[in-house]
C-alpha cells in the first residue's frame, strides 16, 4: 500500500472522480447520438437536378493548392468533369515549387478543350488557405452566386453539383451544403482505418443529427458549395481581420454565417473520395491545427453569441462543439496522477475507519475508501460500449461492416490518451496566441507517394526554432512516459491488481508509445 498524506489523497479522489464523470458524460453523449442514428434509415440518394437551362446559377469551382504536385492533375481533371451548364474553375495556386509549371500546363490543355478554367496567384501567402480563398473571391465574375470548394486531395463525382445544388436552391437560409467524405487510402494501415471510422462518426452520425434538427453545423472546409451572399454577409474567409485567419477558417466562417441567420446543410448520401494522413506525424499535426483553431474560433465568437440573441439550444450546441477539446489538459494531467491512484488503492475491506483514530487518520481512511469506491474500470467499460454503439451506427449508415467498427473502436481510447499531450499544447497555444502569430502546418497530399509534413509559412520563414525544438522533443517524452507506464503495468501485475489498474495502465502505455514512436518518423523539414 502506498501511504500518502490525506490532503494529497483527497486531491486524488477529486481528480479520479473528475475523470470518471468525464467518461460518463462522454458515454451518455455518444449513446444518445448513436441510438438516434440507429433509429434512422440509411441516407437516401438525392435525385440529380436534370435541368440544362442557362437560367441555372453560375457556379465557380475553387481549387486551393500549395505545392500539390502529387495530386494537382487528379484534382483538376475531376473538377473539369463536373456536370453543370454554367461552370467556371479557378485554380488558386500558392505553390512555390515545380507544381506551378505543372498547373500551368494542365490548365492550358483544358482551355484548349473549351473548359472555362484559369489560374489565380497572389504576391504572398498571407492568411494561408483562408487568404488564398479570399483572393479568389475578389476575382469572381459579378454574376457568380455560388462557389464550390475542393481541397487538392478530393475527387468529386461528376454529378456532385447536380445532387447538392437543389438543397441550396430550395432553402434560401442555407449558407452552404456539403457532402460527407469517402477515403481513397483507408486500407493503407491501422491509423487510416481509425481515421475513417472517426470521420464516419462525425459525418454520418453527429453532422447528420445537427442537420436533421436544424442546429449549428460546421463547414468542413471542402466538398461543399457556399452561397456567395451568405459568405459576404458573414465577413468572408478572413472575418473581421481581413488580414489574418484563425487556423480553422472553415469552422469560423460557418459559425459566423449562423450568427447572421443562416444555417448549414449536410448531405450524407453523397460521398467524395479523399486522402487520409498515413503517418502519425501527419495526423498529429492535423489534429493540433484543428484543436488550436477551434479555440481561436471560441475566443473570437463567444462574445458575439450572447449579443446576437441566439436560441439557447443553438448557443449550447455551438459552445459544446467549441469546448469539446477542453478535456485534453485533464487527460494529459491524468497521465501523471493515475499511477498514484493505482499504487495507492487498497481493498475496501481494509478501509474501515476505526473509532479511536485521529482526525488525520480518519480523513486518510475515508479518502482511501472513496478512491476504492470510484470505479474507473466501470467508467472505461461504459465508454468502450458507448464508442462501439456510436461507430457501429455510423458504419450502418454507410452500409459497411459493423464487426470492423466494433473491433476498431476500442483502439480509439489509447489513441486519444496518446494524443492528449500534443493536443493540450495546441489548445493552450490557441488560448494565448493571436491568429496573426499562428503558424499553419498543412498535411500535404501524397497521391501515390509517401505521406509527409512540411512547414507552411506565408512569409517563407518556416517554423519558429522554439516550436521546431518542441515538436522534436515531445515524441521522445511520450516514448519515455510510455516505457514508464509499461514498467508500472508490470508492478500492477506483480501485485495482482488486475481489476484496479492493468487495463487502464496498459491502455495509456499503448497510446503513448503508439503516438510517440509514430511521430518520431518525421521527414526533415
Residues known to be catalytic: 94, 250
182 contacts: CB under 8 Å, gap ≥ 6? 271, 272, 273, 274
| Contact (Cβ atoms closer than 8 angstroms) between residue 425 and residue 470 | yes
Strands (E), 339-388: none
- Rounded to whole angstroms, the Cα distance separating 256 from 175 reads 10
Q: What pairing do the DSSP bridges indicate for beta strands 263-274 and 58-65?
A: unpaired
| Contact (Cβ atoms closer than 8 angstroms) between residue 57 and residue 86 | yes
Count other C-beta atoms under 10 Å from residue 322's C-beta.
22
What cell was used for 341? 491512484
Q: For the chain, what is the largest distance between any 2 Cα atoms, rounded to a whole number of angstroms?
A: 95
3-state DSSP assignment of residue 237? coil
Q: What is the enclosing helix (H) or strand (E) of 498?
A: none
| Contact (Cβ atoms closer than 8 angstroms) between residue 397 and residue 40 | yes
- Closest C-alpha among 221, 225, 266, 222 to residue 87: 225
| Contact (Cβ atoms closer than 8 angstroms) between residue 522 and residue 453 | yes
Lookup result for grid cell 459579378: 142
Amino acid at each position: 500500500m502506498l501511504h500518502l498524506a490525506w490532503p494529497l489523497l483527497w486531491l486524488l479522489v477529486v481528480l479520479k472522480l473528475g475523470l470518471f464523470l468525464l467518461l460518463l458524460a462522454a458515454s451518455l453523449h455518444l449513446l444518445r447520438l448513436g441510438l438516434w442514428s440507429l433509429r434512422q434509415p440509411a441516407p437516401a440518394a438525392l435525385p440529380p437536378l436534370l435541368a440544362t437551362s442557362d437560367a441555372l446559377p453560375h457556379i465557380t469551382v475553387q481549387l486551393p493548392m500549395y505545392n500539390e504536385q502529387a495530386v494537382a492533375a487528379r484534382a483538376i481533371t475531376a473538377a473539369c468533369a463536373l456536370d453543370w451548364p454554367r461552370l467556371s474553375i479557378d485554380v488558386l495556386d500558392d505553390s512555390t515549387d515545380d507544381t506551378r509549371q505543372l498547373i500551368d500546363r494542365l490548365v492550358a490543355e483544358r482551355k484548349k478543350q473549351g473548359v472555362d478554367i484559369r489560374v489565380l496567384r497572389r504576391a504572398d501567402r498571407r492568411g494561408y488557405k483562408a487568404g488564398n480563398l479570399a483572393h479568389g473571391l475578389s476575382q469572381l465574375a459579378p454574376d457568380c452566386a455560388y462557389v464550390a470548394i475542393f481541397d487538392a486531395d478530393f475527387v468529386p463525382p461528376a454529378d456532385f453539383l447536380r445532387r447538392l445544388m437543389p438543397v441550396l436552391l430550395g432553402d434560401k437560409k442555407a449558407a452552404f451544403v456539403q457532402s460527407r467524405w469517402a477515403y481513397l487510402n483507408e486500407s493503407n494501415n491501422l491509423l487510416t482505418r481509425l481515421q475513417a471510422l472517426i470521420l464516419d462518426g462525425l459525418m454520418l452520425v453527429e453532422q447528420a443529427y445537427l442537420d436533421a434538427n436544424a442546429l449549428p453545423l460546421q463547414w468542413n472546409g471542402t466538398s461543399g458549395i457556399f452561397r456567395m451572399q451568405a459568405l459576404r454577409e458573414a465577413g468572408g474567409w478572413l472575418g473581421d481581420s481581413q488580414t489574418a485567419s484563425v487556423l480553422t477558417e472553415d469552422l469560423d466562417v460557418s459559425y459566423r454565417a449562423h450568427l447572421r441567420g443562416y444555417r448549414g446543410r449536410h448531405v450524407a448520401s453523397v460521398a467524395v473520395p479523399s486522402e487520409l494522413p498515413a503517418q502519425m506525424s501527419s495526423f498529429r499535426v492535423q489534429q493540433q491545427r484543428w484543436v488550436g483553431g477551434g479555440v481561436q474560433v471560441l475566443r473570437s465568437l463567444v462574445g458575439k453569441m450572447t449579443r446576437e440573441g441566439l436560441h439557447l439550444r443553438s448557443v449550447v450546441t455551438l459552445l459544446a462543439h467549441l469546448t469539446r477539446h477542453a478535456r485534453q489538459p485533464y487527460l494529459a494531467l491524468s497521465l501523471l496522477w493515475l499511477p498514484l491512484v493505482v499504487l495507492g488503492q487498497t481493498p475496501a475491506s481494509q478501509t474501515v475507519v476505526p473509532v479511536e483514530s485521529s482526525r488525520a487518520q480518519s480523513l486518510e481512511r475515508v479518502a482511501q475508501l472513496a478512491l476504492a469506491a470510484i470505479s474507473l474500470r466501470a467508467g472505461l467499460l461504459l465508454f468502450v460500449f458507448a464508442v462501439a454503439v456510436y461507430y457501429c451506427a455510423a458504419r450502418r449508415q454507410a452500409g459497411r461492416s459493423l464487426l470492423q467498427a466494433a473491433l476498431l473502436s476500442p483502439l480509439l481510447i489509447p489513441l486519444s490518451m496518446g494524443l492528449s499531450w500534443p493536443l493540450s499544447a495546441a489548445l493552450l497555444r490557441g488560448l494565448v496566441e493571436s491568429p496573426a502569430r499562428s503558424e499553419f502546418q498543412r498535411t500535404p497530399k501524397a497521391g501515390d507517394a509517401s505521406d509527409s509534413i512540411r512547414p507552411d509559412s506565408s512569409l517563407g520563414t518556416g517554423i519558429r526554432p522554439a516550436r521546431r525544438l518542441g515538436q522534436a522533443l515531445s515524441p521522445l517524452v511520450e516514448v519515455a512516459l510510455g516505457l514508464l507506464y509499461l514498467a508500472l503495468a508490470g508492478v500492477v501485475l506483480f501485485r495482482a491488481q488486475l481489476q484496479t489498474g492493468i487495463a487502464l495502465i496498459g491502455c495509456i502505455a499503448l497510446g503513448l508509445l503508439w503516438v510517440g514512436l509514430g511521430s518520431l518518423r518525421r521527414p526533415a523539414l
